[in-house]
């Protein structure tokens, strides 16, 4: 069975603080993909990043960075110098299903990030 755990239900920070959102996953598949999505207050779901299980390189995109560690089954997301516009719900998701079943993603419960000015 596949499972994604985002233990942090809600995080509040003050603008310019760094914040890390945790994501721990479970899967028996050796090939899988991990994703992060952002859901701002307007409600849409925005794709942020995809990482496959064979690529453990960390990724940085502007103020966003992602740390993938297979040894601890974690795919954590850090926002550096947070801004009010980063306030959103962030979802971590896992796809470990073979192609015959399509492209099913299993989502974590989400972490609400509130950035105060």
Partner 1 sequence: NAGVTQTPKFQVLKTGQSMTLQCAQDMNHEYMSWYRQDPGMGLRLIHYSVGAGITDQGEVPNGYNVSRSTTEDFPLRLLSAAPSQTSVYFCASSWTGFGSPLHFGNGTRLTVT
Binding site for partner 1 (CB under 8 A): 4, 6, 9, 31-33, 35, 37, 43-45, 47, 50, 52, 91, 93, 95, 97-99, 101-110
Residue that has been written with the tokens 């207050």 in this structure: 41
Residues 6+ apart with CB under 8 A from 15: 82, 83, 84, 115, 116, 117
**Element containing residue 86 per DSSP (H, E):** none
- In the complex, minimum distance from the CB of residue 39 to partner 1, in angstroms, rounded to a whole number: 8
Judged by beta carbon, residue 31 or residue 58, the one nearer partner 1 is 31
- In the complex, minimum distance from the CB of residue 117 to partner 1, in angstroms, rounded to a whole number: 26
CA 38/CA 111 separation, integer angstroms: 10
Residue that has been written with the tokens 């079943």 in this structure: 101
Judged by beta carbon, residue 47 or residue 81, the one nearer partner 1 is 47
Task: Name the DSSP letter for residue 112.
Answer: E
CA 65/CA 59 separation, integer angstroms: 5
- In the complex, minimum distance from the CB of residue 67 to partner 1, in angstroms, rounded to a whole number: 19
- In the complex, minimum distance from the CB of residue 81 to partner 1, in angstroms, rounded to a whole number: 26
Judged by beta carbon, residue 10 or residue 18, the one nearer partner 1 is 10
Judged by beta carbon, residue 52 or residue 72, the one nearer partner 1 is 52
């Amino acid at each position: 069975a596949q499972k994604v755990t985002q233990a942090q239900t809600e995080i509040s920070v003050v603008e310019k603080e760094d914040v890390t959102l945790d994501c721990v996953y479970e899967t028996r598949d050796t090939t899988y993909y991990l994703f992060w999505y952002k859901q701002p207050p307007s409600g849409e779901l925005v794709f942020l990043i995809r990482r496959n299980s064979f690529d453990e390189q960390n990724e940085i995109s502007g103020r966003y960075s992602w740390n993938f560690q297979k040894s601890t089954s974690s795919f954590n997301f850090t926002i550096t110098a947070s801004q009010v516009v980063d306030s959103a719900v962030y979802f971590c998701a896992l796809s470990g299903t073979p192609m015959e079943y399509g492209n099913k993603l299993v989502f974590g419960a989400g972490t609400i990030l509130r950035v105060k000015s």
